[in-house]
Structure 1
Amino acid sequence: MDSTLATMYPGACDCHIHIYAEGYPLAPHATFVPPPAPVSAYQRMQKELGLTRAVVVQPTGYGFDNSCTLSALARFGDAARGIAMLPPQAQHDDNEIARLHEAGIRGLRYMMLAGGLSSWSNLEADAARIAALGWHIDLQLDGRDLPSHESELKDLPCKLVIDHTGKFIEPVHPDSEAFRSLCRLLDRGQTWVKLSAPYETSRVGAPDYDDVALLARTLAARYPERCLWGSNWPHPNAQPRPVDALLLDWLIRCAGHENTLEKILVGNPEAVYGFSPSLTSRRGVASTS
């Protein structure tokens, strides 16, 4: 898969990874102790899969200390972007946000599940503050709660990215109100969804994760310009640990069409994270950047 993917989709991006490195202590609220997952280990996996870009998402275990993520971005260089976590607005200023932008941060994580430190009450103010920089809110929640928050999410002044195929903790059907709510947000035009981490919510399980795959296929078919993909490496809480190459294979099957896959892996990440347009487009596929 490695050389073939790299040749067919130059600039292919893994839009959701975490880095855990020695020398960066976990926050007191951390719910688990992950094994070390340094940049060098990810780069080996990245090369094996034929990926060239990555988005480093601040782990909840590090809380508001973005030091490890920023160090990783420095190691990756221009081939990576980052998603930070910040305390309530009163505790950070525009100079800090400008510093993070210069370091490669392009989004603010809102983790609304166990271990997350974000609050819905801060969302509107944070979104307004980051909009001018082209940042987005990276939202992870139980997708079944989307109808309750749809109105405020539709009114955000910035881009919005929703994690893990909506992360419906109990997988739903495409005709459910919760999934329709996700679709209405995608209709907004400034919302994207990551077709990622099916193992976190599937009740069917590997290798096909059919219950989550149904949702991913539906989204890829309806919204090819609004889908992203992430490996969720290094999967510290998953037992057994999924095989990254098989997760990419799952995405390829869900995409169903080469043009759609090119958008998910290359064009859409360029639009969301501000990567430079790829120097080479795959023959026969129009650039979406």
Structure 2
Amino acid sequence: MATGHGGLGLPDGSCDCHHHIFDPRFAYTEADRLRPPPASISRYEGVKARLGIQRSVVVQPSSYGTDNRCTLDAVARLGPGARGVAVVAPDVSDAELQRLHGGGIRGLRFNLSRGGGSPEAMVKLAPRIAALGWHIDIHLAGDELCALEDVLKGLEAPIVLDHLGRVPQPDAENHPAFRLIAGLLESGRGWVKLSQLHRDSLAGPPGYEDAARLARRYSQIAPDRLVWGTDWPHVVAAEPVDELADLALLLDWIPEEDLRRRILVENPARLYDFPALG
């Protein structure tokens, strides 16, 4: 149960399922314009301590393309409480997938919003990574997601949608993207990350009521397939982001202690293959 970690009393094993590391030891790809300043492991460890979390998932940013060295290095340095989500070429070898698995990778990211990968590559890679127990992680605006409905419904791997599924507001529940995501959740094949909680909100602070309604609807549909993430270091945020305030906002939206535990501990453990808490 809650142990008083950080300032919010989170349960043991709480996990940030979406953050990045940017390390100048590893060169950015020439093809991507997103070149943020360094965001080190030592700085991120400070975020973990402030929030009171013990586990995290390092997500490969578009800045590194298919060069996963920074992500693998970060997972190794963060230790047993870390996993990773990688980006690979469509023709990646079986040996490379096995190497990534050994380095703690448990999913492949397709940041389609920035031209990262293609629907064709997702279809090609899905059965190969499903055999490893991995998932397909997708970031794409909700309007564009709808165009991939047939692809998503046919993918031979679990699907994880970043940032509340990026469903347009203010009437998200009546948008076709929400109905598509709800169908994936109900089928047992879809997951949603409760991250960038206010990115698409039109209601605004302090409560972001439209985003809150969307998060609550997801929790009613599939409480066992929701996870949470900080999206640290917030490289595309228009304003500074306070991770502690964001997490407090989520806890305000999800007041039930058992549901919080699922989202923060139990669901991430299943999705990212974390060991049982000792």
Same topology, TM > 0.5 = yes
TM-score normalised to structure 2 length: 0.94
Shift of 1:191: 1.5
Shift of 1:97: 0.4
Residue type of the partner of 2:148? Answer: H
Residue 287 of structure 1 is matched in structure 2 by none
1:47-86 to 2 correspondences below 5 Å? 47-86=49-88
2:36 alignment partner, SS class? coil
2:79 alignment partner, SS class? helix
Distance 1:169 1:138 in 2: 19
Distance 1:5 1:277 in 2: 23
1:200 alignment partner, SS class? coil
TM-score normalised to structure 1 length: 0.90
Distance 1:145 1:33 in 2: 25
Residue 215 of structure 2 is matched in structure 1 by 216
Residue 39 of structure 1 is matched in structure 2 by 41
Shift of 1:278: 2.1
1:129-140 to 2 correspondences below 5 Å? 129-140=128-139
Structure 2: state its 5+ residue gaps.
none
Residue 244 of structure 2 is matched in structure 1 by 245
CA contact (8 A) 2:186 2:221 kept: no
Residue type of the partner of 1:248? Answer: L
Q: Does 1:100 align with 2:130?
A: no
Shift of 1:170: 4.8
Residue 203 of structure 1 is matched in structure 2 by 202
Distance 1:171 1:139 in 2: 22
Distance 1:65 1:179 in 2: 33
Shift of 1:148: 2.5
Structure 1: state its 5+ residue gaps.
280-289
Shift of 1:5: 4.7
Residue 109 of structure 1 is matched in structure 2 by 109
Distance 1:154 1:249 in 2: 34
Superposition RMSD in Å = 1.6
Residue 285 of structure 1 is matched in structure 2 by none
The structure 2 residue matched to 1:11, chosen from 10, 13, 38, is: 13
CA contact (8 A) 1:11 1:53 kept: yes
Distance 2:103 2:113 in 1: 27
Distance 2:72 2:51 in 1: 24
Shift of 1:211: 2.1
Residue 268 of structure 1 is matched in structure 2 by 267
1:217-232 to 2 correspondences below 5 Å? 217-232=216-231
Residue type of the partner of 1:27? Answer: T
Distance 1:3 1:113, change over 3 A: closer
CA contact (8 A) 1:221 1:255 kept: no
CA contact (8 A) 1:5 1:51 kept: no
The structure 2 residue matched to 1:23, chosen from 22, 25, 49, is: 25
